[in-house]
Structure 1
Amino acid sequence: MPSAGLVPRRIVQLSALFAMFALFTVQIVSALLPNIPLFVAAGAAGLVLDTYLQYRDPGLLALLGKVRFDALVRQLLRDMLILVGLLRIDGIDPLREQAPLLVGLCLFYAVHFACQGVSVLVRRTRTLPIVTRNIDASALRLTAAPPRILARRQAHRLLTFSLPITAGLLTTAATKDATWGGLGLGFGLTLLVGGTAYLATWLLPKKRARSEQQVMEWLDAWLERYQPTVAMYFSGGTTSAYQANMWLSTLSQLDKPLIVLRERFMVQKIDATDVPIICFPKVATMFSLENSTLKMMLHPANAAKTSQVLRIPTIKHAFINHGESDKLSSCNPYAKAYDEVWVAGPAARERYALAEVGVEDKDIVEVGRPQLAPIRPYAGPPTGTYTTVLYAPTWEGWDGNPGNTSVVLAGENIVRALLADDKVRLLYKPHPMTGSVDPRAGAANERIKAMIREANTKRSGARPGADAAEELARRTAELDRLTSTSFRSSADEMERMLLQGTPSGDREAAIAEATLAWEKAYWASFPEWEHLIVTEARPAIFACFNASDLLISDVSSVVSDWLSSEKPYAVGNTSGLPEAAFRAAFPTVSAGVVIAPDAREVPGLLDAVRDPEKDHFTKARADLKEQLLGPSDPPSIVRFGAAVRTLCAKADDRRVRMESRLANEIPSPRESRDEVTVEGEASEAAEDAEALR
């Protein structure tokens, strides 16, 4: 079921498409009659509407492109109809007046195609074999990008430069004076020729980047200077960057860290960090890491391209995952491809043993969850007027299991029971992918939000003054300044490489400080009685943890992370299993309250949160925390660092053994680079084609 705001938008989009086709129809009929006023109005309105949609809603026009009715075809049809109309209008000589207009129009399209060819050449020369961030790459002769309308927006360029031409031709139709058409064609043609010549200057030597061989030689020299030890390898889709971002603070504390990516777009998806980033779109270029000082790689997720980097024999690999839960996805058989699997605590070790997916116990290392350090520990029952409850359900997943999320079967009942308590303040933070697979989850999510908004209308009390809102605005601006980089709309990846060179100062420390100040201002900007719907990236889930007294969630990594605080929690059971079987199947539930679909347990749960004597899970939570996350001493970051050093030492030992074998003329097996290059040839060609669109 589409959301309430989506239906009106679709109506507007369909209306715009209907209007476009209606204008073409009117232009055809009025050209044949001929009806000059209607003909001129339809032609002008059609081009204006097409140009407007191209800038404001290009995705809508992309649908027309799929049926080959793209901007070029539409503009050709529009111009052809104008010429037909001129033939039908008395007073315009077809040979003496209209023929030059036809020749000029053909010349305009010829220059347009030439400009498109130049733009392809320019984009190719500006597409480097690698993409970097937080690295000074000025030695590669990086330059600012050409205007986007010339280099990348073919449809925008055609429609924009066609405006004076169409205006001149339609004026000719209205006045029967071919001079106006000639002026419009001359002006549009001059603009396009000038733009093409200006774009061609990016093909001159002073604006061309280094060759692929020179770029790779520069990278080898930089790796030799930087001497990286540990890298985080990541590959994924546009929505998966959070899996890598959660490890940035941990990675930055290691010696000589590096981030290795495979998709060009992912370079800008990684959050603000001082860690150098290198993207290797092609397999062959990535193998330059084989001769570097890199000893090991950390993998927060499995991906199709992971198998390619595992072929580098000089590097050890550790799978660190992006969260742990009782779900089967936390025991993926692919994990046995890594040298080691790093988990939080003993529970994950047992999970792998029970799953029997081929991961040997000797290859499992318990390192805790170092990124959980910002979560504050339990400080006793709530002392204020309100008990803050965080309801953070997960999404429905891909397999259709009704137990994946409580939103569909129990979400509304849980929220209704919480809102019925006058002393509860609810924070609702659904998973961002809720409703992406099951429309019922999306519909339930919208109904829950409506319930919360309605409940807020029934509450009243003092609200923070204007100073609180001003402070939040000031803190937001400061945090945005630190975490984002302003680029021109025309900036391409080469220009962004130039602007995102070596970071100045300790940006990560400044961001951490600014984030804490922002969170304080955010909570202060709302009255303590107001329920909140948190769907933006800020505040993050850990900030919501610190502001809450109780968590209600589903079987997910959110529960494991929450347990680091040892605060009370509950888990929704919509799996259809009896409570005893549910607890047995999912060990992370063992120290919390299980909530049935009717949410009858909520009142008693709230009583236990407010009165510690009624809380029977205090010791169980402490025990489960250690089982899931390992001991608190030494801290997780210390254990993580020790695991890094140990695996690096294993990589060093292997290199020594290999060098000893080579010294004794014993050949070591090694994958051929040619074989790797051939195997990745098809995917690389597809990626190159995508980059040049």
Structure 2
Amino acid sequence: MTLREHANRETVIGTSLLGLSYLVMLAGVITGLWWVFLVGAVGSYAMDALLLHRFPHLAKLVQQIRLGITPRTLLRQLMALGLLITTPNVTSTGIGLVLLVFLALFGLQLVCGVAARLLRTRRKLPVVTRNIDLASLRIPDSPPMPLVREPMTRLLPLDIFLVVGAVAHVATGRLWLVTGGAAVSLVVTVLALVLVGWHLRRALAIPGQEKVMQFTQSWLDAYRPEVVLYFSGSADSAYQVNMWLDVLDRLDRRVVVVLRERTIAAQLAPTRLPVLCVPAATDLMALDFGPARVALYPANTGKNIHMLRNPMMRHVFIGHGDSDKVASINPFSKAYDEVWTAGRAGRDRYDRAQVGVRLDEIVEVGRPQLDEIRTDTAPNAVRTVLYAPTWEGWTDEPGNTSLIDAGPALVARLLAADPPVRVLYKPHPFTGMRSAAARRAHKRIVDMIEAANRRAARTEPDPRPLAELERRLADFDTDNGSTDEAHNSREEGRSAPTAVADLQSLSTEWHRVYWDGRADEEHLVIQGPRPTLYSCFNQADLLISDISSVVADFVATEKPYAITNCEGITHSEFQTKHPTSAAAYMLLPDGEGLDSALAAVRGSGPDPLTAERVELRTYLLGPSDEPSQTRFAAAVDDLYARTDAQVRAVHEVSTEADAAAV
């Protein structure tokens, strides 16, 4: 079942149960049967809990149609009063007590909700940080997140004690039962208010926005950054900046990572670099980055303009992967002082596109992320084929992805191959986000792989070693939802110097255990952050993919790769249009051409494209006579020196002009 199908099913079932609970309560009021009303009330409270903790999508939906927690609570309370009123043996004292306590609860909950909002506002700093000591800001520990995150969804159901007491009063006629329920509801609500008030009082010690920004400027003045890694993007694009963190960490320069979205800050990979997230444009543009002379941009987004306006730096687009896609020749790139590409292919791509980027502004720096890629293959008993299609994209142009037109047919042929091969299927994280056809193709492939493994009756590996490693890896994630952003920023300013190295060691061990625990013949569907794409490269003898940066990266291995031509043009036209396919085994959507690719990796036939792959690697990624990290660092140093000299020259001219004016 796809995620969308699951969400639709959740919506239908959840909405039906929610509506049924209120109908049952109404039936209890009409018939005067207290136990019927109680069943409906318990069901409604259970649905409140499920909407809060298990069905967030459905909770948003019912909120949009004005059935949020507040109207649901009021409706339940009205029906509870209706049950009291229609019951002959209930006194006016009992009815008045329930009504009075409902009003008191509403007032207390309102005050508590306002206090919780004030608490959230006070603790929401204008910046989010990592690896920056915030001790001088005196940030107290985080309050309990259930009380400050959507507090009314927690507070309003506290009337359950009063409602149950009212039903017990109807059933027995004993007033003390409703009195006791009322007392419990009032006490727990008052306790919640006291707790929120206490945390609000503590939060008043946190400096205001102006002082926090003064602290931020003081930190920048003391740190004196030289290079800025700047990133802005949607919540699902954090990988675009994460891929550069280790590269920048290895520079012999003071680097600061500047982010614009709090969601990206929460998803940023562990790093030793100082991280400064400044959501407000006015706050960012007021900061002085001092001696920083180089700003690097992994993505083209509108918010880049807030850093591009800084004349003390030279601004460089470094991207998040080279490919023949249109995104790699975005006309926005002409806004930067320089564009850095991996190899000559990137230069030629801009030259052909004529989008306003001058050739003298393009610098070839290699692809530092690929320096650790292996050119050999893991010693498996059978050959391994990695199928890693890209996603469907935002348009319906043919050839965006092979998944829809060719994916199931390709995988079916691979699963039936003789001699057998092992299939690793790693779809793009965005697969199926826009296209229902892509979702269906993905599901068919997953079903085929699972069926093939069942037929082979393979024994599942012991999950305990991986589970323990995943638990230890999770310990490095300070943003687990139990504490707020300010608390996390404070704690991450005190992180141990060896934390990143320890995490990398754990990740390496996780990958070793994962791959060692899989049979050489076991087909795998690989989704999520682990195993990484590059670890799949090291397992694969052959890659099948589409026109994307995955192909350009895999070329670094110099191992065979295949591309499916789904554009309805000849292979020759396809390879002319997409230079990254120049050394590929070309496939048709029905899988024609696959036998030649498999023969090359099995050694049962010649591999005529070996020399072409070596030549293409140099063309796409630059020469391999020195590590790309060295070339990248040299480019940073060269640009820094040139920019700093220019800034100093301008300053000297300005100083002389001021002196002459005096």
* TM-score, length of structure 1 as denominator length: 0.90
Farther off after superposition, 65-74 or 186-195: 186-195
Letter matched to residue 138 of structure 2:
R
Q: Structure 1's 32 and 518: CA in aligned 2 closer, same or farther, altered over 3 A?
A: closer
Residue-pair matches, total: 657
Deviations 1:110-154 (A, max 9, x none): 111111111111111111111111211121111112222322223
Equivalent residue, structure 2, for 1:352: 350
Equivalent residue, structure 2, for 1:56: 54
CA distance, structure 2, for counterparts of residue 475 and residue 125 of structure 1: 37
Deviations 1:578-635 (A, max 9, x none): 1111111011111111101111211121112223861111111111110111111232
Deviations 1:177-197 (A, max 9, x none): 333222222221122122212
Q: Are positions 1:170 and 2:167 aligned together?
A: yes
Query: 2:402 touches 2:546 (CA, 8 Å); kept in 1?
Result: yes
Query: 1:27 touches 1:38 (CA, 8 Å); kept in 2?
Result: yes
Letter matched to residue 137 of structure 2:
L
Query: 1:202 touches 1:208 (CA, 8 Å); kept in 2?
Result: no
Query: 1:126 touches 1:208 (CA, 8 Å); kept in 2?
Result: no
Farther off after superposition, 646-655 or 591-600: 646-655
Equivalent residue, structure 2, for 1:295: 293
Shift of 1:329: 1.1
CA distance, structure 2, for counterparts of residue 73 and residue 475 of structure 1: 45
Farther off after superposition, 30-39 or 295-304: 30-39
Equivalent residue, structure 1, for 2:364: 366
Equivalent residue, structure 2, for 1:401: 397
Aligned to 1:204, the other structure's residue is in SS state helix
Matches within 5 A, 1:87-98: 87-94=85-92, 96-98=93-95
Farther off after superposition, 213-222 or 574-583: 213-222
Q: Are positions 1:417 and 2:413 aligned together?
A: yes
Equivalent residue, structure 1, for 2:545: 553
CA distance, structure 1, for counterparts of residue 430 and residue 523 of structure 2: 22
Query: 2:329 touches 2:355 (CA, 8 Å); kept in 1?
Result: yes
Shift of 1:286: 0.9
Q: Are positions 1:209 and 2:206 aligned together?
A: yes
Shift of 1:471: 4.5
Matches within 5 A, 1:390-469: 390-421=386-417, 422-459=419-456
Equivalent residue, structure 2, for 1:189: 186
Farther off after superposition, 38-47 or 614-623: 38-47
Shift of 1:662: 3.0
Aligned to 2:430, the other structure's residue is in SS state coil
CA distance, structure 2, for counterparts of residue 77 and residue 206 of structure 1: 36
Equivalent residue, structure 1, for 2:317: 319
Aligned to 1:388, the other structure's residue is in SS state strand
Q: Which runs of 5+ in 2 are unaligned?
A: none
CA distance, structure 2, for counterparts of residue 372 and residue 223 of structure 1: 32
Aligned to 2:424, the other structure's residue is in SS state strand
Shift of 1:433: 1.3
Equivalent residue, structure 2, for 1:130: 127
CA distance, structure 1, for counterparts of residue 376 and residue 259 of structure 2: 38
CA distance, structure 2, for counterparts of residue 318 and residue 241 of structure 1: 19
Deviations 1:268-288 (A, max 9, x none): 111111111110011121124
Query: 2:343 touches 2:365 (CA, 8 Å); kept in 1?
Result: yes
CA distance, structure 2, for counterparts of residue 146 and residue 473 of structure 1: 30
Q: Which runs of 5+ in 1 are unaligned?
A: 668-693
Letter matched to residue 478 of structure 2:
T
Equivalent residue, structure 2, for 1:590: 582
The correspondence for 1:659, drawn from 651, 657, 661, is 651
Shift of 1:36: 2.9
Shift of 1:12: 4.8
Q: Are positions 1:568 and 2:568 aligned together?
A: no
Farther off after superposition, 398-407 or 84-93: 84-93
CA distance, structure 1, for counterparts of residue 501 and residue 509 of structure 2: 13
Query: 1:51 touches 1:159 (CA, 8 Å); kept in 2?
Result: no
Equivalent residue, structure 2, for 1:678: none
Identity percentage of aligned residues = 35
Equivalent residue, structure 2, for 1:631: 623
Query: 1:274 touches 1:503 (CA, 8 Å); kept in 2?
Result: no
Shift of 1:8: 6.0
Aligned to 1:239, the other structure's residue is in SS state helix
Letter matched to residue 97 of structure 2:
P
Shift of 1:384: 5.4
Q: Structure 1's 347 and 455: CA in aligned 2 closer, same or farther, altered over 3 A?
A: same
Q: Structure 1's 309 and 194: CA in aligned 2 closer, same or farther, altered over 3 A?
A: same
Query: 2:98 touches 2:162 (CA, 8 Å); kept in 1?
Result: no
Farther off after superposition, 125-134 or 419-428: 419-428
Equivalent residue, structure 2, for 1:620: 612
Equivalent residue, structure 2, for 1:67: 65
Equivalent residue, structure 1, for 2:490: 498
Query: 1:390 touches 1:426 (CA, 8 Å); kept in 2?
Result: yes
Letter matched to residue 84 of structure 1:
G
CA distance, structure 2, for counterparts of residue 245 and residue 524 of structure 1: 27
Shift of 1:473: 4.3
Coordinate RMSD, CA, aligned: 2.2
Equivalent residue, structure 2, for 1:689: none
Q: Are positions 1:515 and 2:515 aligned together?
A: no
Query: 2:123 touches 2:203 (CA, 8 Å); kept in 1?
Result: no
CA distance, structure 1, for counterparts of residue 380 and residue 154 of structure 2: 61
Equivalent residue, structure 1, for 2:36: 38
Q: Are positions 1:104 and 2:104 aligned together?
A: no
CA distance, structure 2, for counterparts of residue 83 and residue 313 of structure 1: 68
Letter matched to residue 240 of structure 1:
S
Letter matched to residue 169 of structure 2:
T
Equivalent residue, structure 2, for 1:685: none
Shift of 1:475: 4.1
Deviations 1:361-395 (A, max 9, x none): 1111100000001211247xx97541111111111
Q: Structure 1's 171 and 394: CA in aligned 2 closer, same or farther, altered over 3 A?
A: same
Shift of 1:516: 2.6
Query: 2:403 touches 2:442 (CA, 8 Å); kept in 1?
Result: yes
Q: Are positions 1:376 and 2:374 aligned together?
A: yes
Shift of 1:232: 0.9
Deviations 1:200-233 (A, max 9, x none): 1233267531112221221122112222111211
Q: Structure 1's 627 and 52: CA in aligned 2 closer, same or farther, altered over 3 A?
A: closer
CA distance, structure 2, for counterparts of residue 358 and residue 120 of structure 1: 49
Query: 1:131 touches 1:279 (CA, 8 Å); kept in 2?
Result: yes
The correspondence for 2:478, drawn from 459, 475, 485, is 485
Aligned to 2:423, the other structure's residue is in SS state strand
CA distance, structure 1, for counterparts of residue 514 and residue 623 of structure 2: 33
CA distance, structure 1, for counterparts of residue 147 and residue 592 of structure 2: 63
Deviations 1:457-487 (A, max 9, x none): 33367x6985xx5554454444444x42364
Deviations 1:274-303 (A, max 9, x none): 111110011121124435232221111111
Query: 2:407 touches 2:445 (CA, 8 Å); kept in 1?
Result: yes
Letter matched to residue 448 of structure 1:
I
Query: 2:564 touches 2:589 (CA, 8 Å); kept in 1?
Result: yes
Q: Structure 1's 476 and 66: CA in aligned 2 closer, same or farther, altered over 3 A?
A: closer
Equivalent residue, structure 2, for 1:218: 215
Shift of 1:324: 0.8
Q: Structure 1's 460 and 127: CA in aligned 2 closer, same or farther, altered over 3 A?
A: closer
CA distance, structure 1, for counterparts of residue 558 and residue 510 of structure 2: 25
Letter matched to residue 546 of structure 2:
D
Q: Are positions 1:120 and 2:81 aligned together?
A: no
CA distance, structure 2, for counterparts of residue 352 and residue 612 of structure 1: 40
CA distance, structure 2, for counterparts of residue 516 and residue 110 of structure 1: 55
CA distance, structure 2, for counterparts of residue 613 and residue 48 of structure 1: 64
Equivalent residue, structure 1, for 2:153: 156
CA distance, structure 2, for counterparts of residue 20 and residue 465 of structure 1: 41
Q: Structure 1's 424 and 55: CA in aligned 2 closer, same or farther, altered over 3 A?
A: closer
Matches within 5 A, 1:303-342: 303-342=301-340
Aligned to 1:318, the other structure's residue is in SS state strand
Query: 1:44 touches 1:166 (CA, 8 Å); kept in 2?
Result: no
Shift of 1:506: 3.1
